[in-house]
């Protein structure tokens, strides 16, 4: 899992990484799905989405680009985040991991948003490991 989504592979495309991640998670769950790991899948899904958020913020690189992209997501989702909150996230000097733990990023890049496929560009969405595991158990 570490090699599939490390922070240093920023130049690779997001859609390729999400497809690769989905493939790894599905294979891992199919192989180890015999055991009961519902709680682990919940924690793993949270950790995985957090790592994806970190990579997305890292790809945006500059505070100006982070601010513009979060603003556009805010308008699309109609979440009514204040400009000040988005500005704080974009211009904070915290590390990437802590920045992505803030409420604004967690809400704007929520699991529902990360799971949305893009039909126009043929990008796959990120699967939720817990939902996939529960579907395989039934």
Return the structure tokens found at 81: 């985040």
Provide the 3-class DSSP secondary structure of residue 4: coil
Q: Is this structure's pTM higher than 0.85?
A: no
Give me the tens of pLDDT residue by residue for the chain, a chain 138 residues long. Answer: 555 555 555 555 555 577 888 888 888 888 887 778 889 889 998 898 888 888 888 888 899 999 999 999 899 888 888 999 999 999 998 888 888 888 888 888 888 888 887 777 666 788 888 888 888 877
Q: What angle do CA 70, 87, 57 make, to 5 degrees?
A: 45
Residue whose C-alpha is closest to residue 5's, from 48, 61, 40, 57:
48
């Amino acid at each position: 899992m570490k090699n599939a989504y490390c922070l240093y592979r920023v130049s690779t495309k997001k859609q390729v990484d999400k497809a690769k991640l989905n493939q790894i998670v599905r294979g891992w769950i199919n192989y180890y799905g015999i055991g009961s790991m519902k709680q682990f899948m919940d924690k793993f899904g949270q950790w995985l989405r957090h790592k994806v958020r970190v990579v997305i913020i890292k790809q945006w690189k500059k505070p100006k680009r982070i601010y513009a992209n979060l603003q556009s997501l805010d308008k699309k989702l109609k979440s009514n985040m204040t400009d000040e909150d988005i500005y704080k996230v974009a211009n904070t000097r915290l590390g990437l991991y802590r920045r992505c733990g803030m409420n604004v990023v967690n809400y704007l890049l929520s699991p529902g948003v990360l799971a949305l496929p893009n039909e126009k560009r043929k990008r796959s969405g990120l699967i939720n490991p817990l939902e996939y595991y529960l579907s395989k158990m039934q």
